[in-house]
Amino acid sequence: MITMQEIFNEISKNGGLTPSRKVKEIAERFPEKIAFRNKEFGIWHQISYEEFWNQAQYVGNALKFYGVGPKDKVAVHSENRPEWIITDIGIQAIQSITVGLYPTNPSPEVKYLLGHSESKVLFAEDQEQVDKVLEVIEHLPSLSKIVYFESRGITRYDNEKLISWDEFIEIGKEEYKKDKDFVIKMQDEIKSEDTAIMIYTSGTTGPPKGSMLTHGNLEWVATQIPELSFTTGVDNPQYLSYLPLCHVFGRLVDLIIGIHTMGTINFAESIDTVQTDLAEVQPSVFPAVPRILERMHAGALVRMKDASKLKQLLFSLASKLGDITAKRRLEMGERDFIARVTNFIAQLLGFRALRKKLGLLNVDNALSGAAPISPEILRFFMSLGVPIYEGYGMTENSAIATGNRPGKVKLGTVGVAQPGVELKLADDGEILIKHPGVFKGYFKNEEATKEVIDNNGWLYTGDVGEYDGEFLKIVDRKKDIIITSGGKNVSPSEIENNVKTSPYIREAIVIGDDRKFLSVLIGIEFDIVSNWALRKNIPHTTYRNLSENENVQELIWKEIQKANERTSSLSIRKFRMITKELDHEDGDMTATQKVKRNVLMEKFSDLIEDMYK
Residues 547 and 579: beta-carbon distance below 8 Å:
yes
Among 273, 362, 530, 564, binds another protein (CB under 8 A): 362
Closer to another protein by Cβ: residue 302 or 611: 302
Separation between Cα atoms, residue 413 and residue 375, nearest integer Å: 9
Least separation in angstroms between CB 311 and another protein? 5
Residue span 238-257 as binding mask against another protein, x where in contact by CB under 8 A, dash where not: x-------------------
Q: Does 274 bind another protein (CB under 8 A)?
A: no
Stretch that binds another protein, among 17-25, 37-45, 68-76, 598-606 (CB under 8 A): 37-45
Closest listed residue to residue 24, CA positions, set 46, 52, 66: 52
Report CA-CA distances (Å) from 53 to 97, 148, 579: 18, 20, 49
Least separation in angstroms between CB 346 and another protein? 11
10 Å Cβ neighbour count for 179? 11
DSSP assigned state of 595 = B
DSSP assigned state of 398 = T
Stretch that binds another protein, among 70-78, 309-317, 323-331, 365-373 (CB under 8 A): 309-317
Least separation in angstroms between CB 44 and another protein? 5
Q: Does 539 bind another protein (CB under 8 A)?
A: no
Separation between Cα atoms, residue 294 and residue 497, nearest integer Å: 10
Q: Does 320 bind another protein (CB under 8 A)?
A: no
Closer to another protein by Cβ: residue 264 or 398: 264
Least separation in angstroms between CB 237 and another protein? 12
Q: Does 280 bind another protein (CB under 8 A)?
A: yes
- Binding-site size for another protein (CB under 8 A) equals 28
Q: Does 7 bind another protein (CB under 8 A)?
A: no
Closer to another protein by Cβ: residue 46 or 485: 46
Stretch that binds another protein, among 178-186, 276-284, 435-443, 494-502 (CB under 8 A): 276-284
Stretch that binds another protein, among 165-173, 303-311, 445-453, 481-489 (CB under 8 A): 303-311
Closer to another protein by Cβ: residue 307 or 338: 307
Q: Does 314 bind another protein (CB under 8 A)?
A: yes
Q: Does 527 bind another protein (CB under 8 A)?
A: no
DSSP 53-83: HHHHHHHHHHHHHTT--TT-EEEEE-SS-HH
Least separation in angstroms between CB 293 and another protein? 18
Residues 6+ apart with CB under 8 A from 379: 323, 326, 411
3-state secondary structure of 412: coil
Among 303, 488, 516, 562, binds another protein (CB under 8 A): 303
Closest listed residue to residue 482, CA positions, set 526, 519, 456, 523: 519
Separation between Cα atoms, residue 46 and residue 195, nearest integer Å: 31
Residues 168 and 65: beta-carbon distance below 8 Å:
no
Least separation in angstroms between CB 605 and another protein? 43
Closer to another protein by Cβ: residue 281 or 518: 281
DSSP assigned state of 324 = H
Bridge partners for 432 per DSSP: 424, 460
Among 1, 13, 40, 43, binds another protein (CB under 8 A): 43
Site for another protein in 180-239 (CB under 8 A): 238
Closer to another protein by Cβ: residue 39 or 81: 39
10 Å Cβ neighbour count for 537? 7
Closest listed residue to residue 496, CA positions, set 591, 567, 410, 576: 567
Q: Does 448 bind another protein (CB under 8 A)?
A: no
Q: Does 37 bind another protein (CB under 8 A)?
A: yes
Helix, strand, coil: what percent of the chain each, to 5?
Answer: 45, 20, 35
Q: Does 344 bind another protein (CB under 8 A)?
A: no
10 Å Cβ neighbour count for 526? 16
Least separation in angstroms between CB 503 and another protein? 15
Closest listed residue to residue 218, CA positions, set 195, 239, 247, 237: 195
Q: What are the residues binding another protein (CB under 8 A)?
A: 37, 42-46, 238, 279-282, 303-304, 306-308, 311, 314-315, 318, 349-351, 353-354, 357, 361-362
